[in-house]
Structure 1
Amino acid sequence: MTTPDFSKLDKDNIVDFIADIFARRGAEEYLGEEVSISEHMYQSGHLAEEAGAPEEIIVAALLHDIGHFTNEFPDNAAELGIDSHHDRAGAAVVAKFFPNIVTDCIRHHVSAKRYLCAVDPDYFSTLSDASVLSLKLQGGPLTAEAAEKFAQNKDIEAIVQVRKWDDEAKVPGKKTESFAYFAPMIQRVVDRP
């Protein structure tokens, strides 16, 4: 696995580049879940579309885990006690091409899990075993002070909703649309001023 060369990307080729990543690496294991990483991401986008979310939020849900493709961490990083920081890596990759709300949802979807664990006593029980493991590596629930600060993010509602779709998008065998279906929408979001 080699680190992609992001310096050659622009608004005209970013969607094709992401499509190629999904095609080459989408079948990889998703951190111990019973779905592949592409199945998980397609399910997230599908849930957002099904809920009637705006295109920017559908794209954010679809691409929230794009950071898993931007590094050299092994597939079993969580089992090895390594936090790959895929949230920050993914946000750094898309920031040049996508609106801030897309980038914010990607950058903060891990913190949103930590936030929800801090403010919603029932939320933790909804997490998969793999998500509980990654929560430990990611620092556990936010402190009350950190949760209060996180709640002040201007995109908090979208970030938290993307997180919730992330948690739900782990259903083995669930049928969703493929990348080709989402590609025109992704390009429209990229092309918006």
Structure 2
Amino acid sequence: MKKVNFTEMKNGTKEDYQLLEKYEKNYERQTAERILKYLSAQTTTLEGYQITRLEHSLQAATRAFKNGEDEEMVVATLLHDIGDDLAPMNHSQYAASILRPYVSEKTYWIIKHHGLFQTYYSAHHLGGDRNARDKFKDHKYYEATVDFCENYDQASFDPEYKSMTLDEFSPMVRKIFSRTPYYFL
């Protein structure tokens, strides 16, 4: 494989950057496959839950699918907690940043803020403010995010629920991540 000549980016040539662009485009085309591989490995969970991270994601996405959400929202729901392992303190922002180039402003906003909105169900049990989400009460996507948490996220911890499989969602993931990005950086 051909490589660039520079050791500092400021010394890169047009040819170096054209070469990297070619490799990057190929790498970008494989994003969906890397995401699916990562999701398939989510077979553990934070101690205490009755189901794995993967099963939670599958349950939430299945609920979104059965509720008639479009493919974009189904895929976003499938990926909403993909940041749990690497970014536990800001997992929703992590997931939203992965989705952002490929989804609408609304879907991005819902996923970005679902972590805070989800505390509605637990914060008051731990001395926190369950209504912290209300600082966004006047935002145009507030109710959609409340609905996302109520219908898909908080409801998807059931070891008896019959979820769709990751293979059933794979074509949707591939379709969303093959879109021309709406947003970059």
Q: TM-score w.r.t. structure 1 length? A: 0.68
Q: What is the CA-CA distance between 1:38 and the residue it aligns to?
A: 0.4
In structure 2, list runs of 5 or more residues that go unmatched. Answer: 1-23
Q: What is the CA-CA distance between 1:174 and the residue it aligns to?
A: 2.2
In the other structure, the counterpart of 2:163 is 176
Is structure 2 residue 73 aligned with structure 1 residue 57?
A: yes
Is structure 2 residue 80 aligned with structure 1 residue 107?
A: no
Q: What is the CA-CA distance between 1:184 and the residue it aligns to?
A: 1.3
Q: What is the CA-CA distance between 1:134 and the residue it aligns to?
A: 10
Is structure 2 residue 153 aligned with structure 1 residue 141?
A: no
Judged with a 3 Å threshold, the aligned counterparts in structure 2 of structure 1 residues 17 and 99 are, in CA distance, closer, same or farther, namely: farther
Following the alignment from structure 1 to structure 2, what is the Cα–Cα distance between the partners of residues 101 and 31?
Answer: 32
Q: Which runs of 4+ in 1 moved over 4 A?
A: 8-11, 133-137
Following the alignment from structure 2 to structure 1, what is the Cα–Cα distance between the partners of residues 140 and 100?
Answer: 17
Following the alignment from structure 2 to structure 1, what is the Cα–Cα distance between the partners of residues 153 and 45?
Answer: 16
In the other structure, the counterpart of 2:148 is 162
Q: Look up the equivalent residue of 1:42 and give its one-letter code.
A: L
Which deviates more from structure 2 when the two are superposed, residues 164-173 or residues 51-60?
51-60
Q: Could you say which structure has the greater relative contact order, defined with CA pairs below 8 angstroms and 6 or more residues apart?
A: 1
Q: Look up the equivalent residue of 1:37 and give its one-letter code.
A: R
Deviations 1:94-135 (A, max 9, x none): 323433333222211122224xx3xxxxxx4xxxxxxx3798
Is structure 2 residue 174 aligned with structure 1 residue 187?
A: yes
- 1:66-77 aligned within 5 A: 66-71=82-87
In structure 1, list runs of 5 or more residues that go unmatched. Answer: 1-7, 72-82, 118-123, 125-131
Judged with a 3 Å threshold, the aligned counterparts in structure 2 of structure 1 residues 58 and 95 are, in CA distance, closer, same or farther, namely: same
Contact preservation (8 Å) 1:57, 1:162: no
Judged with a 3 Å threshold, the aligned counterparts in structure 2 of structure 1 residues 70 and 37 are, in CA distance, closer, same or farther, namely: same
In the other structure, the counterpart of 2:58 is 42
Contact preservation (8 Å) 1:59, 1:102: no
Q: What is the CA-CA distance between 1:84 and the residue it aligns to?
A: 2.1
Q: Look up the equivalent residue of 1:155 and give its one-letter code.
A: Y
Judged with a 3 Å threshold, the aligned counterparts in structure 2 of structure 1 residues 11 and 173 are, in CA distance, closer, same or farther, namely: farther
Larger Rg belongs to:
2
Q: Look up the equivalent residue of 2:109 and give its one-letter code.
A: D
Judged with a 3 Å threshold, the aligned counterparts in structure 2 of structure 1 residues 135 and 86 are, in CA distance, closer, same or farther, namely: farther
Q: TM-score w.r.t. structure 2 length? A: 0.70
